[in-house]
Amino acid sequence: MSRIIAFCYDSFMRGPEQACLIDWRRILLSQVGGRVLEIGAGTGASLPLYPNVPGLELVLTEPDVDMRRRLERSVAELPDSNITVLDCPAEALACEDESIDWVFVSLVCCTVVDLPATLAEIWRVLKPGGHLLFLEHVAAEKGTRRRRWQDRVNFIWRRIAGNCHLNRETEAQIRRAGFQIESITRESMRKAMPLARPTIRGVALKPRQAGSKPEETQASSR
Ligand SMILES: C[S@@+](CC[C@H](N)C(=O)[O-])C[C@H]1O[C@@H](n2cnc3c(N)ncnc32)[C@H](O)[C@@H]1O
């Protein structure tokens, strides 16, 4: 993501953040504890919303140098926190196998280069019984007018918005990666641009039982 996007990002997102995203983030994050990995943490919009629970350890990843600089500034403002910032991409997480209790992604699955590879990495680093929390804008239902416009505009939007895809079917990809979706809410992101309004948020489980491995991942989806 370019320096300009990093510079404008918080102002661009202020409307949707205040209208709904802050509340959605806070409710999702209220459940976490132990070792938590947030992927593509951006400028740190979720940082103040983590619960103040003993033993919480945060690992944040952000591969974009300009976003990461802002993230590190936000981290530095928090007193007494146990936070590490990594520069690895979601497709190659610098975390050990089965070392994480919770993974959080917000507005990231739309942007990564390879979503199946990202979900395979999340599966790898999560402990059995660990959870993926997601808050993502997604493709509108097939056959709708909004979906047709998402498909039409996607090519251009990706180029001006740091590889953000308007039409990813993220819920289907999460299920395909082997996760069991425990809860999901579909809601419109208020104050966002119309083609990015459909969202999903919820909790997905990496089951404990052996044999629930994800399908073989393939190179890049849409
Ligand atoms: C739309 S922003 C969302 C930022 C933050 N998660 C939030 O909710 O405000 C997308 C973020 O994903 C990051 N990103 C892009 N490609 C990535 C990748 N391959 N792996 C991890 N993060 C990536 C971008 O640098 C950017 O910070």
Domain assignment present for residue 222? The answer is no
- What are the tens digits of pLDDT across the range 15-64? 999 999 999 999 999 999 999 999 999 999 999 999 999 999 999 999 99
Domain assignment present for residue 218? The answer is no
- What are the tens digits of pLDDT across the range 59-108? 999 999 999 999 999 999 988 789 999 999 999 999 999 999 999 999 99
Three-point CA angle 101, 96, 219, nearest 5°? 95
Domain assignment present for residue 121? The answer is yes
Domain assignment present for residue 221? The answer is no
The owner of tokens 């510079």 is: 7
Domain assignment present for residue 211? The answer is no
In angstroms, the CA 205 to CA 91 distance is 19
**What is the per-residue pLDDT for 127?**
98
- The count of residues in the chain is 222
3-state secondary structure of 174: helix
CA 109 to centroid of ligand 1, rounded, Å? 8
Q: Which domain does 27 fall in, by range?
A: 3-205
Q: 65: exposed, middle or buried (C-beta count within 10 Å: 0-12, 13-18, 19+)?
A: exposed
Mean pLDDT calculated for residue range 132-151: 98
In angstroms, the CA 3 to CA 92 distance is 23
The owner of tokens 């990813």 is: 168
CA 164 to centroid of ligand 1, rounded, Å? 9
- Looking up residue 128, the CATH number of its domain turns out to be 3.40.50.150
- Number of domains making up the chain: 1
Asked whether 90 lines ligand 1 (CB < 6 A), one says: yes
Domain assignment present for residue 220? The answer is no
**Which residues are paired to 84 by β-bridges?**
59
